[in-house]
A and B are shown apart, each in its own frame.
Chain A
Amino acid sequence: MNEEYKRALRKFYKNPSAMFGLILLIFFILIASFAPLLAPPQIPIDPEIENMESMINQLSETKDTSLIDDLTSSFSDYYDFTYGFYLDYADDVKKLEKALKNYQANKNEENLKKLIDELTPLTEDYVLDTSYLENIQNNLNDTKKFNSALKDLENGVKAFLSKATNAEKMKKELDEINSKNSSVDEFLPAAKKYFKDLKSNYIKDLHYDPYLMPIVTYENTPQPPSKEHPFGISNGRDIYYGVVWGTRTGFKIGLIVVITATIIGLFIGSISAYFGGWVDEVLMRITDIFMSIPFMLSAMVLTTVLGTGLDKVMIAMIVFGWMGSARLIRGNILQAKNDQYVLAAKALGVKDSKIIVKHILPNTIFPVLIQASMRIGSMVITAAVLSFLGVGAPQGYADWGSILNYARNWILGGTGGAFEYWYTIVYPGTAMVLFVLAWNLVGDALRDIFDPKLRG
């Protein structure tokens, strides 16, 4: 096996275009993984938290004991404001949970009444949303809706209780800090830990999405590259940020879509080939139907139906993107099924399942994998086209296609000349071209190395 690896690597090294592709790919992987460092997302931070942070920093520098009191008081204020609420009502919600469980175990009138009795005061105090109660009371006759209302309530209770548990944990830590307020050395590490938890809770609750390109100006026309915004500004957003974080989007779209579509294709194709007969007939006709629908049009229709969003785009691309690999693997398996080593393996008593996994798949899967690795690049183009047409990623999402979409009005240039707004296209466009090129070169090299049919 070692020998084989060495030979594969040697082949790879000797192939300059493969090396170029690999280097490009590694470059993109590095950009994607270090995106938070290359283009740090600006999380909007509560001024109170910023205040606490500066106080902690001051305390660790000056060791001024008077700061301890300030810090503890602002900690407890923040605690009361953010967590206290959950803890105050935790017992009542727990009672509600019990009533809900009772009702689910034994669905009778009496238990339902108890459940509603528990729920009513909580919604009246705005602890839980009134819609929980309304949905239950209004749908008493509709079993399906009633059950889903119960399910919602269960989830709501669970979410509340998990917040309450978190609040309890924070309270414990806060008590610990309060008990240690005599010396700076004891107080500081505890306060730091508390602050860290507090800040991470805050960021978690904020649901901040770093993939959203920050709006840096409300100016409508693109701004040329400057020191602060090295790739310029388009549609009020920083292109540099978009290109860097768009690398992640590119990998996400390419890998998820291609892997899922390939698995679906492999599954359908291999079932079709192995069982043959009417199974084959039905599955292949379904494949034909999918293939005869124009891809771009159907993807657009599906995204419009499902609604915008990157996940919807990916679903559309998977739904209309598995047929190639299904056909490829089917053809390969049909060919390999008649190879003599399959018969030989059967003659020596190997199980059917093992024959598929060990003898047929390894001989047939490489072309599919190579095709998949080449498609990763082209999937990014497809997603970009969808974004360009406005049915792709949501507004402001860091995605190369979206940035190109912003440039739509400026492609022809302005009064200053045809290339006045070149930066709105060149940077995201170059990134995309290189990304696709990298995958294609690597895919080609993989075929040269691994395809058993091309081996010596």
Chain B
Amino acid sequence: MKDPILKVNNLHTYFNTEDGEVRAVRGVSFEVHEGETLAIVGESGSGKSVTSLSIMRLLDENGRIAEGEILYKGRDISKIPEDDMRHIRGKEIAMIFQEPMTALNPVFTVGDQIIEMIMLHMGMDAKAARQRAIELLRKVGIPEPEKRVDQYPHELSGGMRQRAMIAMALSCNPKVLIADEPTTALDVTIQAQILELMKELQKEYGMAIIFITHDLGVVAEMSDKAAVMYAGKVVEYGDIVSIFKRPKNPYTWGLMQSIPKLNEEVERLMSIPGTVPNPRKFPKGCGFSNRCFLAKEKCKDEMPELIEVEPGHYSRCFYIDELVKEVEKSRVGEK
């Protein structure tokens, strides 16, 4: 098998705050290959956004990568100088953000901002860059790109802005695209369009996408692999089919249960009780132990290891067998 284009190994990201060190990410590992989509799934505060910002090296001043390595094409980019990193950002690894309303600079036209990127990384002159910007806008499905290129962000709708954002991120043919909840702020029909667009563009450009989301529906739609994160750690990791068909972690299972199903009538939607633990004081043992229906004394004191339950499918739980029984029971009930 080919080497992965991006490989994250045992990443730890800590923040220094007034209340002491906050360990937002505590040992995250995953890999993506060219043309593949990896979804990072988790609730707010699970460390998924921090993971993506760590890869881009865009952490706030008080944040640092304390341990681990981020291998892009085999080169560790977690320790290279800022100047070199700047050449990687945008050109090799690009990122799009959740809020298309605020991610574009309000005082410049959409075209200006795309042209800036193209001229910066591709060394094109202004005229050629403009031509390319128009082409990109057309490619991301913006009608009348010749007109839109000279419009300001406030003249575009939310979906349009996100498309422009994607055009900007794609302007230099990045090998990896990190999308941080790109559809969360959009309404459902537009969401579907944007996801469709991203899939098409991925097919065309062959880039790897790291898709950060809390929406399992989007994960099933988009990705080949998923890493489920909880309390700064990956709790389940594997290809999308085995995770959905045979979940091996109570947290993943809980998330799946809380998706409404159209073919079933239930009084109340299932939900996971409690909230994500505060990153300032994660429990000593398993982070999920205080919410888990399988949790025993052992879970509170000891952190389970990430073990390979079947080829390419990893989970972090002491009681996988019991979970499997539960899952089977409920699946039988469904039928």
Contacts and interface: CB of A to CB of B under 8 A. Distances in A.
Given A348-B94, A349-B120, A363-B106, A340 B58 contact: no
A3 interface: yes
Contacts of A276: 61
A144 interface: no
A348 B169 contact: yes
Contacts of A363: 105-107
A40 interface: no
Nearest to B93: A347
A346 B89 contact: yes
A339 interface: yes
A359 B89 contact: no
Interface string A1-28: 1011000000000000000000000000
A344 B107 CA distance: 15
A384 to B, nearest CB: 37
B121 A455 contact: no
B104 interface: yes
B97 interface: yes
B58 A343 contact: yes
B192 interface: no
Main secondary structure of the interface of A (DSSP, over half): helix
Contact of A1 (B97, B106, B121, B150): B150
Interface string A352-396: 000000110011000000000000000000000000000000000
B160 interface: no
Interface residues of B, number: 33
B107 A362 contact: yes
Contacts of A362: 105, 107-108
A275 B105 CA distance: 22
A279 interface: no
A341 B153 CA distance: 11
A25 B206 CA distance: 60
A456 B116 contact: no
A347 B150 contact: no
Contact of A350 (B94, B107, B120): B120
A349 B105 contact: no
Contacts of B66: none
B102 A347 contact: no
Nearest to A343: B58
B88 interface: yes
B87 interface: yes
A351 interface: yes
B97 A349 contact: no
A38 interface: no
A343 B168 contact: no
Contact of A343 (B90, B97, B155): B97
B103 interface: yes
A344 B106 contact: no
A347 B56 CA distance: 7
Interface of A: 1, 3-4, 276, 339-341, 343-351, 358-359, 362-363, 452, 455-456
8 contacts: A340-B103, A341-B105, A347-B89, A347-B94, A348-B89, A349-B87, A349-B117, A350-B117
